[in-house]
Chains A and B, each alone.
Chain A
Amino acid sequence: MTIRGNDFWEFLISRDYTFFAGVPDSTFGPAYNALTSNPYLTYVPATREDSAIGVASAAYFSGEKGGVVMQNSGLGNVINPLTSFSLMYEIPVLLIIGWRGFGGPGSDAPEHWIMGEKTPSFLELLDIPYAILDTELHDEKIDQLLQSIEMQQKPGALLVPPGVFN
C-alpha cells in the first residue's frame, strides 16, 4: 500500500491546514504536484527552507494553519529560525520532512547518510514532536501530532520515508 498524494492533502485540509511553503523532495513524488495544484491550498515555492518557515508561520497570525514541506537536508538551514523564532515565540507550524537516507547507508546517496541517521536526534534535541508517516494514512497518528503542535504551540514534524506516496 501507498498513500495517494491527494488523500494526504485532503486530510490536512480537513484539519484546516491550508497555507504551505517549502522546497520539494523526491520522497513526495506526485504528492508534491497534488499540493501545488490543489485549489484549496496556498503554496509558496520558497528558495530555502528557512524562508519557508517565515512564510508559513504567518498563518498563525491570521487564524489559519501553516505547514512547510522540505527535505531533511534542509533541517540544517532551519535550526536558527526554529530556535530563535518558532520555539522562542511559540508559533505552531507543521513540518513535512522527506526522510532521505532512511534505512542507513546503502539506501540512498552519500550526501544523505549522515543527516538520514541524525534526523530524529535533531528533532529530539530541539524538543520538536514528530511522527513517521506510514504507507497507510493513519488519521489518529497525524491527529496526535497536530494536537501536540497546537496545544504546545510549537513546530511538529511529520517524517516521510521514501516509498510512502505513490
Chain B
Amino acid sequence: MSCVKETDAVISTTGMISRELFYHQDRLGNFYMIGSMGLLSSFGLGLAKLHPLRKFFVLDGDGSALMIMGTMALIAAEKPKNFIHIVLDNESYESTGAQPTISSSVPIGAIAEASGYASTVSVKSCTELAIELERCLVKDGPHCILIKVGIDPIPNIPRITYSPNEIRDRFRSFLMENTDG
C-alpha cells in the first residue's frame, strides 16, 4: 500500500480481501465490494475509463477472477492504461472456509497474458511486488500482478463497519471531489 498515492483509487473484492483491506488500511479512496463476487474487475474497468488520469488498483481474488473470467478478456480489449489488476491467489475460497479453487492447476496470469494485458507478472515476495508495482505505475496498462499467497486468516477480523451507502458515498465523493492523480 505504500505505492498507493492519496489520489489513487483502491477497490477490493468481496470477502476477506475487503475485510483485510478495511482492517489494515482503510482510506477515503477505497471501495469495498462487499457482495457480487466476480463483479469487481468490470466495475474497475468502467471507473478506469471514466477517470483516465487516476490509477486504479483492483484487488481481486483467484475465485472472483475466475468467476466472471470473461471480464479479463474485456479489460484486455478495452486497454485501460490506468488499470492495475492485482490477483491475490491463495488457491482457495478462504472466506467460505478455505475450500480449494482450481487455480492450483489453472494459471490466472496466463489467462490475462493470452487475453492481451499490457503486462502480466507473478510475484512471490513483498520485494518483488514493490518493484513490479513501481513499474506498473510508470508504464501503460492494463497490468496484471498475480501474487501467490498463503491462507492466513486473521482471528476475529471485523466485518466492514460502514453501511453500503456510506461505502458508496465516500468513494463517490473521493472520485468527484479530488483532482485525478
What residue of chain A has the Cβ atom nearest to residue B37's Cβ? Answer: A80
Q: What residues of A have a CB within 8 angstroms of the CB of B33 in the complex?
A: 85
Known: A54-B40, A54-B43, A84-B36. A48 touches B70 (CB 8 A): yes
- The majority secondary structure among interface residues of chain A is helix
Chain B 88-108 residues near chain A, CB threshold 8 A: none
Bound-state CA distance A61–B165 (Å) is: 13
Q: What residues of A have a CB within 8 angstroms of the CB of B78 in the complex?
A: 44
Known: A21-B46, A89-B165, A91-B168. A51 touches B35 (CB 8 A): no
Of B33, B44, B164, chain A has the most CB atoms within 10 Å of the CB of B164
From the candidates B34, B50, B70, name the one contacting A59 in the complex (CB within 8 A).
Answer: B50
Known: A59-B50, A62-B51, A90-B164. A44 touches B74 (CB 8 A): yes
What string of 1s and 0s marks CB contacts (under 8 Å) between B53-76 and chain A? Answer: 000000000000000101101100
Chain A 66-84 residues near chain B, CB threshold 8 A: 66, 80-81, 83-84
The answer to whether A55 touches B176, judged by C-beta atoms less than 8 angstroms apart, is: no
Chain A 34-58 residues near chain B, CB threshold 8 A: 42, 44-48, 50-58
* Nearest CB on A from B8, distance (A): 15
Known: A80-B36, A85-B36. A51 touches B74 (CB 8 A): yes
Chain B, interface size category, equals 20 to 34
Q: How many A-B residue pairs have CB under 8 A?
A: 102
The answer to whether A55 touches B46, judged by C-beta atoms less than 8 angstroms apart, is: yes
The answer to whether B39 touches A85, judged by C-beta atoms less than 8 angstroms apart, is: yes
Number of interface residues of A (CB under 8 A): 33
The answer to whether B46 touches A54, judged by C-beta atoms less than 8 angstroms apart, is: yes
Q: What residues of B have a CB within 8 angstroms of the CB of A89 in the complex?
A: 164-165, 167-168
The answer to whether B71 touches A47, judged by C-beta atoms less than 8 angstroms apart, is: yes
Bound-state CA distance A30–B15 (Å) is: 42
Q: What residues of B have a CB within 8 angstroms of the CB of A64 in the complex?
A: 50
Bound-state CA distance A48–B71 (Å) is: 8
Q: What residues of A have a CB within 8 angstroms of the CB of B77 in the complex?
A: 45
What residue of chain A has the Cβ atom nearest to residue B78's Cβ? Answer: A44
Q: What residues of B have a CB within 8 angstroms of the CB of A55 in the complex?
A: 42-43, 45-46, 49, 74
The answer to whether A42 touches B49, judged by C-beta atoms less than 8 angstroms apart, is: yes
The answer to whether A63 touches B46, judged by C-beta atoms less than 8 angstroms apart, is: no
Bound-state CA distance A66–B35 (Å) is: 20
Bound-state CA distance A55–B44 (Å) is: 7
Bound-state CA distance A44–B167 (Å) is: 26
Q: Can you identify 15 A-B contacts, CB atoms within 8 angstroms?
A: A19-B50, A47-B70, A47-B73, A50-B39, A54-B40, A54-B41, A54-B42, A54-B46, A55-B45, A59-B46, A59-B50, A63-B176, A84-B36, A85-B39, A90-B168
A residues whose Cβ falls under 8 Å from a Cβ of B: 19, 21, 42, 44-48, 50-64, 66, 80-81, 83-85, 88-91
